[in-house]
Structures are given as structure tokens and as C-alpha cells.
């Protein structure tokens, strides 16, 4: 069976974890946390970068930093993972669901303005498959209405918008290092704070509501409880694993892009089913997917691939159609978002991981070509 995903380990993870043990430093914000933070601080132009235990935690921090209150509205694409919305639901926000673009699952920037009301506080954009949303237009809308922009860049490591690294454009951004991502540490995340007015408070929330970070920097002579917060900081073993991955980022990305290119070249006969990557966006080879014509066709495709020992998968279900949303006061269960619903019904993701062999990619390609010939 060709797996859908296999987490890749460089071979240095255990060595660095052993260093944590030898240095008797297991809790967070130690040597490897600082190395990872420095790496991201450099590529994000000296903005505040905080490691977290997950992308979900990073998003929850953005909800706290954005000072979301009950009654506030947050615009979120419906075709995304639940935590893109849940982080703000937990703070009492009303979620206003947006449709996807016709050519890829990113938020349709042309439909955002009509969703804005006097209660709107933030726009969440999700760079699906590492494909950049149209950030110039989105930031212009946010400026016009004095709204925050939060980038859900969970899938967007090493991907760019007009030469700008994804996660560096909105007020805040969240990245994921889950084992399904390009680089991973099992579970892990990153909060990037691009708007300096949130930086100091981010440190306090990250440190369980205390000004402990200021204390360790020598800025205060004692620390105490200052604000809300939680235990968002990962332990050193997680950071050690992540550092091994960051060292190999270029190598990992090179191989993933080779695999992506093999799919792209081999499946030219169905290229009209590919997602569009606009000319302002780059491809980070997070995943390779295509669209079937219907839910029935997609289900037949997935069964056909499984029968041929290939583990492919669909992806998100629309959040506005979920049972949870149906029960909420802001229920949008009957809302029609045709593009998001099409991706939920028709999108197929193919196996793509660092150790996948060329002959395995060729086998998958041949099976898909044969399916459509039949």
C-alpha cells in the first residue's frame, strides 16, 4: 500500500533530544526553542515569533490578542479546518462564512466586502495547499474598514506572495508543524506577530498570563500575573525535533517539489482538473490534488485507488454545513457557498511525502490516467 503520508525524520532528531537530556533541560523556552525562534525571527524580518504546541494554539492566541468579545464577527472561509473558526468561537465570536475562489480553495477576496458589518473585527485567510490568497486586495479591504487580518498559514511554510513570505503580511499568522506538514515535529506550531502593538501582550499570553519573558530578559526584577493566557509553549524535545527539520528545510522542499512536478507532468491529460496557482503565488509542494466532476465520481476514484493499494484522500467538509454550526445562534446551515461545497465534494489529494519513490509516483499517475480513460 502506498501511504497517503509518512512523516520524514532527518536522523538528527534523537541526537538533539539526547542533548536536552544531557543538558537537563526539558521544559520549554530553552536552547532549541531559542534556535527555532531565531530561525523564524530572521526569515520574518525580526517580527515576534513564538513556538507553540500546535497551530490550533497559535490561532487561539490570535483570538486572545485580537481581543475578540461576544457579538464580534469574524470572517472565515468555510472550506478549512475547524480550528480556523474555533479559535474565535471560543472567544464568543459570530463566524461569518465566506466562499472559496472558483479556481482554488482560497477565500474569494471579491466576496469579502459584502460580508462586513459594523460588528466585523477580523478576516481570517487560509493559504490552502500553500497557495497564497490575494493579499493586496484583502489588506486593502482590511485597511478601509479598520479590520485585523489573520493568516492561517498552517500549510504555507516556504511559500510566497509576490516575493513576501506567507505569514508575514497580515497582523498575525499561525503555522503548523503537524506530522502531515512539509516539516514536522509530531505536533507543533508558530505564532508570527507582524503588528508590533500585539508583541508585548503575545509574550504575556504565551507565558500563562505572566510577564515572565520580561523577567528573563532582565527588563523587570520580578514577574507576576498580568493578563489572560495559557500553556502555549512546547517542551524542549518538540523544539529539538523541529530544529532538526529546519536544518533540512531546503533538502526536504527540493524533494517534495520534485515529486509534485512528477505528478504535474504525468497528469497533463487531466490538467483542466488542477487547482490554479495564480502568478502572484509560489508552490511549496504541500500537497498535490485535483478535482473530480461530482461526489459520486470522487468516491469511485478513491475506491479505485484503494483497490489498487493507493491511499488517496478527500479533504475538508464545509464548516457552514457542520452539525456544530447548525446548533449555533449564528447558524448558517442553509447558506449556499457553491465553490466551497464543490471542493468538499470533488477534491482528491494524492500521496506526497519526502521518501516517496519516483516509481511510486509513476504508478499512481498511471492508475489515474487509466481511470479516466475507462
CA distance linking residue 79 with residue 340, whole number of Å: 5
Answer yes or no: is 2 within a domain: no
What's 348's domain CATH number? Answer: 3.90.1150.10
Give the DSSP H/E element, type plus range, for residue 347. strand 347-349
Domain edge (last residue) among 225, 247, 269 = 247
Averaged pLDDT of the chain: 95
What's 43's domain CATH number? Answer: 3.40.640.10
My answer on whether 242 and 280 are in the same domain is no
Domain that holds residue 340: 249-373
Answer yes or no: is 301 within a domain: yes
Q: Are 318 and 78 in contact (CB under 8 A)?
A: yes
The domain total for the chain is: 2
My answer on whether 91 and 46 are in the same domain is yes
φ/ψ (deg, to 5) at 191 = -105, 125
My answer on whether 86 and 165 are in the same domain is yes
Tens of pLDDT along the chain (374 residues)? 999 999 999 999 999 999 999 999 999 999 999 999 999 999 999 999 999 999 999 999 999 999 999 999 999 999 999 999 999 999 999 999 999 999 999 999 999 999 999 999 999 999 999 999 999 999 999 999 999 999 999 999 999 999 999 999 999 999 999 999 999 999 999 999 999 999 999 999 999 999 887 777 777 777 889 999 999 999 999 999 999 999 999 999 999 999 999 999 999 999 999 999 999 999 999 999 999 999 999 999 999 999 999 999 999 999 999 999 888 766 555 688 999 999 999 999 999 999 999 999 999 999 999 999 98
My answer on whether 38 and 105 are in the same domain is yes
My answer on whether 366 and 225 are in the same domain is no
Amino acid at each position: 500500500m502506498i501511504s497517503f503520508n509518512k512523516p520524514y525524520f532527518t536522523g538528527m532528531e534523537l541526537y538533539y533530544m539526547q542533548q536536552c537530556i544531557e543538558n537537563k533541560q526539558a521544559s520549554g523556552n530553552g536552547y532549541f526553542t531559542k534556535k527555532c525562534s531565531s530561525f523564524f525571527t530572521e526569515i520574518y524580518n525580526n517580527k515576534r515569533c513564538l513556538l507553540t504546541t500546535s497551530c490550533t494554539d497559535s490561532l487561539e492566541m490570535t483570538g486572545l490578542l485580537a481581543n475578540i468579545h461576544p457579538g464580534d464577527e469574524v470572517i472565515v472561509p468555510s472550506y478549512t479546518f475547524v480550528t480556523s473558526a474555533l479559535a474565535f468561537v471560543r472567544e464568543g465570536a459570530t463566524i461569518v462564512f465566506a466562499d472559496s475562489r472558483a479556481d482554488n480553495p482560497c477565500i474569494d477576496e471579491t466576496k469579502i466586502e459584502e460580508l462586513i458589518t459594523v460588528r466585523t473585527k477580523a478576516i481570517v485567510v487560509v493559504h490552502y495547499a500553500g497557495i497564497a490568497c490575494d493579499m493586496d486586495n484583502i489588506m486593502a479591504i482590511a485597511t478601509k474598514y479598520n479590520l485585523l487580518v489573520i493568516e492561517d498559514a498552517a500549510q504555507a511554510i516556504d511559500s510566497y506572495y509576490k516575493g513576501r513570505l506567507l505569514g508575514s503580511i497580515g497582523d498575525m499568522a499561525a503555522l503548523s508543524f503537524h506530522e502531515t506538514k512539509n516539516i514536522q515535529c509530531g505536533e507543533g506550531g508558530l505564532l508570527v506577530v507582524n503588528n508590533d502593538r500585539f508583541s508585548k501582550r503575545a509574550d504575556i499570553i504565551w507565558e500563562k498570563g505572566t510577564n515572565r519573558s520580561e523577567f528573563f530578559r532582565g527588563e523587570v526584577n520580578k514577574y507576576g500575573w498580568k493578563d489572560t493566557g495559557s500553556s502555549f509553549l512546547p517542551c524542549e524535545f518538540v523544539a529539538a525535533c523541529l530544529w532538526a527539520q529546519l536544518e533540512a528545510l531546503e533538502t526536504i522542499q527540493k524533494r517534495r517539489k520534485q515529486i509534485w512536478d512528477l505528478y504535474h507532468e504525468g497528469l497533463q491529460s487531466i490538467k483542466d482538473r488542477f487547482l490554479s496557482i495564480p502568478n502572484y503565488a509560489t508552490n511549496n509542494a504541500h500537497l498535490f490534488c485535483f478535482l473530480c466532476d461530482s461526489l459520486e465520481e470522487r468516491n469511485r476514484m478513491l475506491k479505485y485507488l484503494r483497490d489498487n493499494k493507493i491511499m488517496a484522500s478527500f479533504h475538508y467538509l464545509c464548516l457552514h454545513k457542520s452539525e456544530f454550526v447548525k446548533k449555533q445562534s449564528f447558524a448558517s446551515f442553509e447558506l449556499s457557498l457553491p465553490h466551497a461545497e464543490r471542493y468538499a465534494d470533488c477534491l482528491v489529494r494524492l500521496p506526497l511525502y519526502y521518501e516517496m519513490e519516483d516509481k511510486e509516483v509513476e504508478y499512481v499517475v498511471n492508475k489515474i490516467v487509466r481511470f479516466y480513460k475507462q
